Structure 1
Amino acid sequence: MASIRPRTTKAGTPYYQVLYRHNGTQSSDSFDDPKEATKYKKLLEQIGPDAAQELMFGAEALPEEIPALTVTEWCTEYIDHLTGVEEATKNKYRSYLRRDIDPILGFLPLSVVNEKAISKWVQAQEGSSKTIANKHGFLSGAFNGAVRANHIEVNPCDGRRLPARHKEDEPVFLTPTEFVRVRDVVVEQWRPLTVFLVSTGMRFSEATAFQVGDLNVEEKTGRIVRAWKYTGEAKRKLGPPKSRKSVRTINLSDQAIEACGDLKGRAPDEFVFTNRLGRPVTAQLFHNKAWRPMIAELSDRLGKKPRPHDLRHSCASWMIAAGVPLPVIQQHLGHESITTTINIYGHLDRRAAQAASAALTAALEGL
C-alpha cells in the first residue's frame, strides 16, 4: 500500500510525498499538486511501481492535451455499440461499470491495465462467485473488444483464476421425500407453482411467463417461448428465454399438468400462474410469501436451505437418478451447451464412472 505525506520545503512551499515499497525497499516520489499525488498513489496500488512510474514519468507517457483512452471511456463505448444484446443486458453491464469497475479501474488508460490491476479488482469484488464471474466475463469481453480495435495488444483478463464457489453458492438437491416436506409446508396458494417448478425444471422466469396456450394437455407437452426479463431499472418485461436453446418444447409429468389447474375458458395469452389479483407472479412476491416462511419453519428439520432455483436442480437430479442421459436433460432444461449440464450435474451421474471401473476390473481380472 502507498501513502501520501504532506511536506513543506525550507522556503515554506507545500508539496506531497508518496511513499511506497519497491523491490523490497522504501521509495518515494514528490508532487506539487495533491491531485497528482493521489493519482500516483492509486496507480501504484493498481498497476505496481514500474508501470506507474512509466505512466507518470516515462517518455512514452501521453501529453495532457492528448489523453489516453481510459477503461471507463472504452467500456462505455463498447456497451453502446454492442449488437444482438437486449437493452436489459446493456443496462446490467452499465451497472457493472458504474458500481464495480469505474471506482477501481475506470481512471486507468487501457494500455496500462495489467494482470496485477485485474487481480486487485477481482479481490475487491463482493458477492457470490457466480456474480464475480459474470462481472469478470463482461470486463474480459470489453478488453477483447479493445484488442480487436487495436487499442491494446493483449487482454489482461486472460488466464485469471476467479474465486472458488462458496458453499452457499452450491446447488442444493432435494430428494423426492424432502420435496414433499417442502411442498406440504409452503402456503397452499403457492403449492401448485412450487410443484410445477420442480416437476418441469423450468427457470422461475419461464414458469411465471408460461401461458395457457403454451400447454398441450392431450400431448402432455409445454412450449417455452418467453421469460421475464429485468430491464435494469427495477422493471420487468417479457422477452425470449435465456438462450437460443432455451426456446423448447418439453414433455410434462401428470403432476405438472395437474398443477396448472383447470384452464377451461381461459384465454390462450393468460398466464397460468398469477397472484390473487390475477397479475404475473414476481420472484420477490414468491420469495416473501411462499419461500421465506417455508424456510423459517422447515430448514432446521430439513438440514438444508434450498432456494427456489434449487427446484430446477432437484428436477435434474431426479432425472439423472432415473437414468435419463445428460444430453436429454440438457434439452429439457434448455442449456445452451452440454458443458453447462455436465459442470452442474455431471458429478451426480455415476454410470460412466461405474462402467469405467467395471472395465478396469475385467481387464485386470486373473492377472
Structure 2
Amino acid sequence: MATIEKRTRKDGTTAYRLKWRFGGGREGAQQSITYAEHDDAKSMKGAVEALRHHVYDTDPRVISFELVTGQKPTAYTAPTFGEVAEKYVTTRTRAKATTKDLYRRTLRNRAGALLARPVESITDDDVSALLSGITDAGQSSAMIYDLLRGVFRYAVVKTSLAVNPMNGVEPPKRRPRTVNFLSNTDAGLLLDACRALPNVGAALADVVDVILGTGLRISEALGLVAGDVHVDDVDRAWIDVEMQLSRATTGSPESRRVSLKTDASRRRIALDSATARVLARLVDGLAPDAPVFPHPVAGGWWGQGVFGKAFERARTAAKRAGMVKTPRVHDLRHTHAAWLLTDGVPLLAVSRRLGHESIGITADIYGHLLPEGDDAIRAVLINRRAALAPATVRRVHAVVPMDAVAA
C-alpha cells in the first residue's frame, strides 16, 4: 500500500512524501513524490492505489497531478517481453551499436515466441522449453540465456514482475571450443587449392597467406587499408590494426569499416619478410584509404560472406587433394598462434599479437600447446639449491655449575 510520510525541511516548513512500491509487492521498485500539502499527497495516494500501484513516480500524470485533477485512472497493461527487451538493450550504454543490433537479432531469431507475450506471464517452464529447443537443434543457447537473464532482471526492477523466471533455469552447458591447427603440409595444400580457383584464386590465396603470417581475424584482414601497411623495409615491416570490416552488406563504403571488437584489438603486428613482401606487392600504387584486399572481380570491399563461400570451395578442393583437417577461416588465426607457441614464443607476446583482451583467453584456447616444463623446473631448482651456502651447524655446550661437579 502507499504511505504518506510527514517530513520537516531545513527551512522549518512541512512536506509530505508519498511512497509506494511499483505493483504493491516487496519486490517492486520504490517510488516516491513529495507535496507541500497533505491533501495533495492524500489525493494522489488514492489515485495510485486505484491503479493498484502500477504507476511510476516519473509518470507525467503523477508529476502534473493529472491523475487527480479530472483524468480517470486507466487500467494497467503489463508490457510485453519484446517491449521490455528493447528497453533493456537500449540501456546497455557500454555496448556498441553493432553489439546492440546483434542482441536484437538474437532475441528476434531465438526468442521470437516470447516477444508478444506479457512479461509477467512468462514462467521458468517457458524459458526452459525455449532453451531446450535451441540446444536440441544443435545450436548454442549460451548467448540467448545471458540475454534472457539480463532482460528479466531489468523487468523485475522496472516493471511489476515479482519473480524472475530465470531463477529456476540452469545455464546451458557451453559447447567445447573446436579449434583446428593446420600442419605445414595442410596449409600448403590449402594455399594451392586457393590459387587454383578461377577468377578469385590469387586474391584468395593472398588473404589466407597473410592471415597465416599475422593471426589477423578475417574482419581485420578484409578491413585493412594501404595506410595501415608499413613495408618500406621488409625486414622491419609492420601493420597497424585500427579498424575492421563490418558484416553488413549494405551502406556506404565508409560505413562498412567499423571499430574493432575491443580496445585490445588495436595493435601493431610485426611482419616476417615473406608476409611483408606479399603485402608490399598488394599495396604498391594504392591510395592510403584503398582496401588491401578488394574483391578481385567487383572491386570495393570484399564482404566476409562472399569471401567465406570462395574459401569453402578451396577447402573442398584441398580435402580432395589430401588435406587432413577441415578448417574454418578462423582456424587460420588459430594455426598462426599454434605455430608461434609450439616454437617457444612466450604466451604473453602471442596474446598481445592476437589482440586478446587478457592472457587468460589465450591460455584457455592454446594452453594445451605449451610444454609442461617439468624438466626445466627441475633444472632450475637443482642449480638454485646447489648455489645455496651450506648451513653452519653450531654445537651448543651446556654450562654445568662447579658445585654440581664437586658433588
TM over 0.5: yes
Alignment-derived partner of residue 344 in structure 1: 365
Alignment-derived partner of residue 230 in structure 1: 247
Alignment-derived partner of residue 304 in structure 1: 325
2:226 is aligned with 1:212: yes
- Counterpart of 2:152, as a letter, is F
- Counterpart of 1:273, as a letter, is F
Alignment-derived partner of residue 242 in structure 1: 261
Residue 140 of structure 1 and its aligned partner are, at CA, apart by 2.8
Alignment-derived partner of residue 279 in structure 2: 260
| Preserved CA contact (<8 Å) 2:186 2:325 | no
Q: For 1:93 and 1:122, locate their aligned partners in 2 and report how far apart those are by CA, in whole Å.
A: 16
Residue 317 of structure 1 and its aligned partner are, at CA, apart by 0.8
Residues 278-300 of structure 1 show CA distances to partners (whole Å, capped at 9, x for unaligned) of 311112222223x2222222225
- Counterpart of 1:260, as a letter, is L
Q: For 2:75 and 2:375, locate their aligned partners in 1 and report how far apart those are by CA, in whole Å.
A: 68
Q: For 2:208 and 2:242, locate their aligned partners in 1 and report how far apart those are by CA, in whole Å.
A: 20
| Preserved CA contact (<8 Å) 2:123 2:165 | no
Alpha-carbon spacing, 1:359–1:109, altered in 2? closer, same or farther (3 Å): farther
Alpha-carbon spacing, 1:162–1:352, altered in 2? closer, same or farther (3 Å): farther
Instruction: Return the TM-score normalized by structure 2.
Output: 0.63
Instruction: Return the TM-score normalized by structure 1.
Output: 0.70
- Equivalent residue of 2:87, what SS? helix
Residue 239 of structure 1 and its aligned partner are, at CA, apart by 1.0
- Counterpart of 2:181, as a letter, is F
Alpha-carbon spacing, 1:191–1:182, altered in 2? closer, same or farther (3 Å): same
Alignment-derived partner of residue 96 in structure 1: 106
Alpha-carbon spacing, 1:228–1:272, altered in 2? closer, same or farther (3 Å): same
> Which segment drifts farther, 345-354 or 72-81?
345-354
- Equivalent residue of 1:249, what SS? strand
* Bigger CA radius of gyration: 2
Alpha-carbon spacing, 1:143–1:327, altered in 2? closer, same or farther (3 Å): farther
Q: For 1:233 and 1:103, locate their aligned partners in 2 and report how far apart those are by CA, in whole Å.
A: 29
Residue 117 of structure 1 and its aligned partner are, at CA, apart by 3.8
Alpha-carbon spacing, 1:327–1:138, altered in 2? closer, same or farther (3 Å): farther
Residue 339 of structure 1 and its aligned partner are, at CA, apart by 2.4
Alpha-carbon spacing, 1:121–1:284, altered in 2? closer, same or farther (3 Å): same
Q: For 2:319 and 2:78, locate their aligned partners in 1 and report how far apart those are by CA, in whole Å.
A: 54
- Equivalent residue of 1:103, what SS? coil
Residue 207 of structure 1 and its aligned partner are, at CA, apart by 0.4
| Preserved CA contact (<8 Å) 1:326 1:341 | yes
Q: For 1:353 and 1:111, locate their aligned partners in 2 and report how far apart those are by CA, in whole Å.
A: 58
Q: For 1:314 and 1:280, locate their aligned partners in 2 and report how far apart those are by CA, in whole Å.
A: 25
5+ residue gaps, structure 2: 1-51, 55-73, 196-200, 383-407
Q: 2:133 aligns with which of 124, 131, 144?
A: 124
Alignment-derived partner of residue 109 in structure 1: 119
Residues 285-338 of structure 1 show CA distances to partners (whole Å, capped at 9, x for unaligned) of 22223x222222222522321111110111111111011222221111111122
For 1:1-367, list aligned pairs within 5 A: 65-104=75-114, 107-110=117-120, 113-114=123-124, 116-125=125-134, 131-146=140-155, 149=158, 156=166, 160-165=170-175, 170-187=178-195, 188-189=201-202, 190-217=204-231, 218=233, 219-231=236-248, 237-262=256-281, 263-276=283-296, 277-289=298-310, 291-300=311-320, 301-352=322-373
Residue 348 of structure 1 and its aligned partner are, at CA, apart by 1.8
- Equivalent residue of 1:351, what SS? coil
Aligned length: 296
- Counterpart of 1:135, as a letter, is I
- Counterpart of 2:179, as a letter, is P
Residues 85-128 of structure 1 show CA distances to partners (whole Å, capped at 9, x for unaligned) of 333222222222222113047525358543x4433221111676
What percent identity do the matched residue pairs reach?
Answer: 26
Alignment-derived partner of residue 24 in structure 2: none
**What is the alpha-carbon root mean square deviation over aligned residues?**
3.4
- Equivalent residue of 2:182, what SS? coil
